[in-house]
Amino acid sequence: MPESKTILSVELGDRSYPIYIGSNLLDQEDILLPHIPGNSALIVSNETVAPLYLNKVKALLKSKRVETIILPDGEKFKNLEVLNTIFDALLSHRLDRNTTIIALGGGVVGDMAGFAAASYQRGVHLVQIPTTLLSQVDSSVGGKTGVNHALGKNMIGAFYQPRAVIADTSTLNTLDDRELSAGLAEVIKYGLIRHADFFEWIKINIDQLLAKHPETLLHAIKISCQTKAEIVAADEKESGQRALLNLGHTFGHAIETGMGYGEWLHGEAVGAGMCMAARMSSSLGWIQEAQVQDTINLMQQAKLPTMAPEAMTTEQFLELMSVDKKVLDGVLRLVLLKDIGQAVVTDNYTQKQLAEAIKASQPA
């Protein structure tokens, strides 16, 4: 019996692509195949996800030549050295320009496979099959690809859109609770930056989300992807409103780099980072203390950190934040809140105010 699915679209002219969302999509034969134009594919996955889902994806591609590469699992492997092993696989299997790279995994696999697709022979086809909540609501959509550098998170990469995103929500059944919470940070982000009503909905439904209630998760994924698709369609290369998607990320990326990649999950760092951005917005007089508390409460309910790591100093934060991609002509632009549901990009703050906001987020 066929399962139902939602199909959203990222509208980018002749590079527009569908996002399929639904349960058991990896059991449906007619979804993936039409997005593989040539006769070969390379599936990029990792040592955790491959044993769970690789055979399902291979079974959908029986009419194609399929090669695989299995990466080590973890944010600390999201680097140029491991990326190069994808190029080794592409070249040793003599895969040509009409091949399709299929990213099967979370955001780490998706970002690396995406960057390989962007650069192998100056660009081959890409399909994203995200298997974490975070990658289903955020990283698989919108075409940001890349790897980390020891000095800065996601500092090397390219914009490169997939031909399709296939978010099979059944894959979330095997995801552990900590990773689920990390994904909820990005879901909460969409409420904070753009949708006060969605923020309220998350508050009401947080227990159902944590319990992986299928219909509730499906709704959260749909609204998140819809929001991201609209923003990406309006500003693909982040010259304007796409920067709002980085609420909490400048603080968060500093945490990920400062603590060592993988110590804090990306979603955890972003969760704490959004609380830091809320505190700073309040100290600038833009939002009320009650709204900061509302943000912190929801983050706590989602089982996410709300304070900066004890091990990091204010000076370390300031140093790491100065390497952010939102630094333009030497000025760091921050994403802050004017209201719940209304984020802005601003450089209208002083270094002293930023330092005070960081201090206010450090455990006593």
Positions annotated as catalytic residues are 122, 144, 186, 228, 238, 242, 246, 249, 253, 266
Beta pairing class for 65-71 and 100-105:
unpaired
Residue length of the chain: 364
Nearer to ligand NAD, 78 or 195 (CB): 78
Binding residue (CB under 6 A) for ligand GLY from 78, 242, 253, 279? 242
- Mark 167-196 with x for binding to ligand NAD (rule: CB under 6 A) and - for no binding: ----x--xx---x--x--------------
Going by their DSSP bridges, the two strands 327-328 and 144-149 should be labelled as: unpaired
Binding mask 25-54 for ligand NAD (x = CB under 6 A): ---------------------x-xx--x--
Under the criterion CB under 6 A, does residue 138 sit at the interface with ligand GLY? yes
Contact status: 245 vs ligand GLY (CB under 6 A): yes
246 contacts which partner out of ligand GLY, ligand NAD, none, CB within 5 to 8 A by kind? ligand GLY
Report the partner that residue 242 touches, choosing among ligand GLY, ligand NAD, none (CB closer than 5 to 8 A by kind): ligand GLY
DSSP state letters, 277-335: HHHHHHHTTSS-HHHHHHHHHHHHHTT---S--TT--HHHHHHHHTTSTTEETTEE-EE
Burial class (CB in 10 A: 0-12, 13-18, 19+), 290: exposed
Q: Smallest distance, Å, CB 238 to ligand NAD?
A: 10
We find the least distance from the C-beta atom of residue 135 to ligand GLY, in angstroms, to be 11
- Rounded CA-CA distance 109/161 in Å is 15
Give the shortest CB-144-to-ligand GLY separation in angstroms.
Answer: 5
Instruction: Select the residue whose beta carbon is closest to ligand NAD and give its number.
Output: 107
Does 142 bind ligand GLY (CB under 6 A)? Our answer is yes
Pairing type for strands 334-339 and 342-346 reads: antiparallel
Residues between 77 and 96 that touch ligand NAD (CB under 6 A): 78
Q: Quick one: which of 181, 347, 364, 158 has its CA closest to 250?
A: 347
Q: Which is nearer to ligand GLY, 16 or 173 (CB)?
A: 16
**144 is a contact residue toward ligand GLY (CB under 6 A):** yes
Closest CA to 142 of 182, 180, 186: 186
Phi-psi region of 256 (alpha: psi -120 to 50; beta: other; left: phi over 0): alpha
d(CA 19, CA 225): 8
- Interface with ligand NAD (CB under 6 A): 46, 48-49, 52, 73, 75, 78, 105-109, 111, 131-132, 134-135, 138-139, 142, 144, 154, 171, 174-175, 179, 182, 266-267
